[in-house]
Structure 1
Amino acid sequence: MRWYVVDDLSAGETARLAQALRDMEFSSGVDSLYWLPVPENLLSPVQRKHAVDCGPHALGLELEEHSLRLELLVRARGRLRCDCVHYAGPELRARMIAYLDQLMADLQISA
């Protein structure tokens, strides 16, 4: 599995991050797992084609007490197995990492 990992976070920083993710309604229903929606313009051609049947598409973000892990596999929330479930391309990967870095900066988390 491919991940973007940030460790050495304090418990307070991960708590602030968790609250912000809940406030943005990114909760998954599983404690410490959140879904970051993939912007429509960054979906691959097959993901765009499958958006209605398989979407929404998202990246999983797992928070632990002192770290976070962004899974770089684009998941189809409406279906477990499909050709539209595949790793993020370079542009999506860069955009989502930058988004997460900016979110942490906005929350004054210096990781």
Structure 2
Amino acid sequence: MRAYLIDELNSTDMQRLLSCLETKTVKASLEDMYWLEIPKNLLSTEQREHAAQCGPFVCSLETGPNWLKVELLTRGRGKLRCSCIAYAGREQRDWILDQIDAMLTELDIPV
């Protein structure tokens, strides 16, 4: 799996990050998981074609006691398996990382 990992966060920064994730993302049904919704204009042609049955499209954010892992996989929340599920392309990947970096900057969390 391709992922972006931020680790060695102190407990105060981790709590602030969790609060930010609660407001800026969608809480997944699994504990410690969040969904970051990908904007429609960044979806691939196939993902746009599958939006009604497979969307919304997201990347998953998993948290631990002192880390955040961002999966660089664009998946549809409406279906577990489909050909439209793919690793984030350059534009999607850049947008995802920009969102995470913006959260960390907003919270003044050095990485």
Deviation by residue 1:57-98 (Cα, 9 ceiling, x = unmatched): 000001111111100011110000001101000111011101
Paired residues for 1:1-111 under 5 Å: 1-111=1-111
Any idea what SS the aligned residue of 2:27 has? coil
How many aligned positions are there?
A: 111
Mapped partners of 1:9, 1:29: distance in 2: 24
Give the stretch that moved more between structures: 93-102 or 14-23: 14-23
Aligned Cα RMSD in Å? 1.0
**What amino acid is aligned across from residue 89 of structure 1 in structure 2?**
G
- What is the TM-score normalised by the length of structure 1? 0.95
Q: Structure 1 unaligned runs (5+)?
A: none
Q: Which 4+ runs in 1 deviate beyond 6 A?
A: none
How far residue 24 of structure 1 moved from its aligned partner, in angstroms, is 2.8
Any idea what SS the aligned residue of 2:26 has? coil
Mapped partners of 2:26, 2:10: distance in 1: 21
